[in-house]
Amino acid sequence: MSSDAASPGPIAPRTILAPGPVVSRADWPAEQEPRALHVIRIGGAGMSAVARLALEAGLAVSGSDSQDGQFIGPLREAGATIGIGFDAAQLPADCDLVVVSTAVRADNPELLAARERGIPVIHRAAALAGLLGERPLIAVAGTHGKTSTTGMAVTALRGAGTDPAWALGAAVPDLGRNAGFGAASAPGTRLPADADRQPAVVEADESDGSFLAFAPRALVVTNLEADHLDFHGDEATLIAGFDALADRVVPGGTLVVCADDPGARALGERARARGIAVQEYGTAADADWELRAEDAAAGGTVAELRTPSGPLTLRLAVAGHHNVLNALGALAACAAALPAADPALLAAGMASFTGASRRFDVAGTVGGVTVVDDYAHHPREVAATLEAARGIVAQQPGPGRVLAVFQPHLYSRTRAFGAEFAAALAAADLAWVMPVYGAREDPDPSVDARTITAHQPTLTPLDEAGAVIPSVRAAARPGDLLLMLGAGDVVETTPQLLATLDAPVTDAGEPEA
């Protein structure tokens, strides 16, 4: 893809999908707003969020993807025309704008057709920023925890009496969809007169630097450590991108950073030195929003906080210390963006958040074995999920173990963090590593499950995905908690595994068909 489609730029205020350096045509008339857009790889979480907001804004939406997926059906029901497979013929004759991401290859036939026809091409993040217009924006960035923190912020704002727009990178059952202009917004529905003054919350993706499309009133950075080095090249370049994002905070806005994370805290220190207002949250005694105590409760967590406006009790329906920190960051960002909001109401709204899809989702319990799906695909995420699982098993009345099946995501990430993944997975009692899910990358025969397991002899490499079910079935026993981890298609194995665990075993030791 050419650089003009991959590098986000500033968005003209109050102009939907306004052009900037990200588009492929310099002569786009400033007064003209697109009426129809085509989204390549529309089934991705981020791309589908753009399509959903465009539909709710009254635009005609078409798109394509390589295969069907969870977001495509709902978009079709909302009015989008979507083809499976990539074909230049799928680009509508009346298309005004094409939306892409860095996952769209330069030789994609629909992208080539747009170039040939002179149709402007814009990056997903710039499209999202343009659709949200001048709404007071809360952006959530960081290496981990973005989706949960974004969802928590939306429910907190609703608790305080606002009706925010939102866009995030996964389905969130509490919100009904992964993007929207408001709780009741839908294609063909007239938005309230004050809709453009309601806040917006977005998950700001650092994977390709596109988060620089946003100019937030409050920016929360949950953590900052090396990841996505396939794009950024090295950690220093990634950090420079976060510094640039901090500089995008609007005058009078606030950068909110986790004081417990060295990378995020250092980001805040550098930003403060440049004159940016910074607030910190975490367990540190000098944090503006201090976590003073937390206790696991039935179905969640109770946390005691010290806030700039006084003590506050936070009740969450999700477990894990990492989720308490996510909630604290969301609270701080919402309070910074809307100073008039009552923190107690923000906290009360957040209590309804039950989690994002594939963030410690309990898929089922069969034969006494509880199976959990989780999106963890970075060593720190894997470690946090295993820690949460260990805490749950420790509270069981009977014995139990933590088992893990991990599917590495991307050859480049597996190569860069093989030892770190091994160290994180070693916290499980038993762990299996599946073949690498390459996603957007070409196969690399030098990288496989053993790139991880070679660092830790207690881990078992699997040479094919089909080996997961017999391996787990032979090892699992009542009381165990099994984690299915990864950002690839490991999720498709989970229902089959549950069905197999529930099936009787034949005399030969195999599950009955």
- Which one from 56, 102, 110, 147 is the annotated catalytic residue? 147
Q: How confident is the model at residue 503 (pLDDT cuts 50, 70, 90)?
A: low
Alpha carbons 145 and 143: distance in angstroms, whole number: 7
Tokens standing for 321?
């210390």
Instruction: Report pTM.
Output: 0.70
pLDDT of the residue at 279 = 97
Range ranked top by mean pLDDT from 180-194, 218-232, 321-335, 367-381:
321-335
Q: Alpha helices, DSSP H only, in 18-170? A: 45-56, 72-77, 109-117, 124-132, 146-159
Q: Is the predicted pLDDT of residue 227 greater than 80, yes or no?
A: no
Tokens standing for 472?
């787990």
Alpha carbons 327 and 465: distance in angstroms, whole number: 35
The architecture (CATH level 2) of 135-350 comes to: 3-Layer(aba) Sandwich (3.40)
pLDDT tens, 42-85?
Answer: 988 889 999 999 998 889 999 999 888 778 999 999 999 999 99
- Location of structure tokens 């969640």: 300
Tokens standing for 267?
């980001």
Alpha carbons 346 and 365: distance in angstroms, whole number: 34
pLDDT tens, 200-209?
Answer: 999 988 766 6
Q: What is the dihedral of CA 156, 313, 279, 174, to 10 degrees?
A: -20
Alpha carbons 135 and 166: distance in angstroms, whole number: 11
Tokens standing for 402?
């933590």
- Location of structure tokens 């991108």: 241
Evaluate whether 200 touches 132 at the Cβ level (below 8 Å): yes
pLDDT of the residue at 360 = 73
Q: Is the predicted pLDDT of residue 12 greater than 70, yes or no?
A: no
CATH class of 361-501: alpha beta
The residue-averaged pLDDT of 507-513 equals: 42
Q: For residue 359, give the DSSP letter.
A: S
Q: Is 235 a catalytic residue?
A: no
173 or 99, which is more confident = 99
Alpha carbons 5 and 7: distance in angstroms, whole number: 6
Alpha carbons 68 and 64: distance in angstroms, whole number: 9
64-78, 132-146, 355-369: which has the minimum mean pLDDT? 355-369
Alpha carbons 351 and 171: distance in angstroms, whole number: 18
DSSP secondary structure of 22-33: TSS-TT--TTPP
pLDDT of the residue at 80 = 95
Q: Is 381 a catalytic residue?
A: no
Q: How confident is the model at residue 155 (pLDDT cuts 50, 70, 90)?
A: very high
Q: Is the predicted pLDDT of residue 86 greater than 50, yes or no?
A: yes
Q: Is 147 a catalytic residue?
A: yes
- Which one from 146, 254, 493, 500 is the annotated catalytic residue? 146
Angle formed at CA 285 by CA 284 and CA 288, multiple of 5 degrees: 85
Tokens standing for 363?
């898929």
3-state class (DSSP) for residue 280: strand
Alpha carbons 513 and 511: distance in angstroms, whole number: 6
CATH of 3-126, picked from 3.30.420.40, 3.60.21.10, 3.30.470.10, 3.40.50.720, is 3.40.50.720
Question: Domain limits of the chain?
Answer: 3-126, 135-350, 361-501
* Amino acid, single-letter form, for residue 208: D
Alpha carbons 419 and 8: distance in angstroms, whole number: 34
How are the residues of the chain apportioned to helix, strand and coil, as percentages rounded to the nearest 5?
Answer: 35, 20, 45
Name the strand (E) or helix (H) holding 385: helix 379-394
Evaluate whether 72 touches 129 at the Cβ level (below 8 Å): no
Q: How confident is the model at residue 265 (pLDDT cuts 50, 70, 90)?
A: very high
DSSP secondary structure of 126-150: HHHHHHHTTS-EEEEESSS-HHHHH
Name the strand (E) or helix (H) holding 424: helix 411-425
195: burial class by Cβ within 10 Å (0-12, 13-18, 19+)? middle
3-state class (DSSP) for residue 395: coil
Three-state SS for 212-252 is HHCCCCEEEECCCCCCCHHHHCCHHHHHHHHHHHHCCCCCC
Give every CB contact of residue 484 below 8 A, 6+ residues apart in sequence. 363, 371, 372, 373, 374, 405, 490, 491, 493, 494, 497
- Which one from 149, 150, 155, 203 is the annotated catalytic residue? 203
Q: How confident is the model at residue 103 (pLDDT cuts 50, 70, 90)?
A: confident
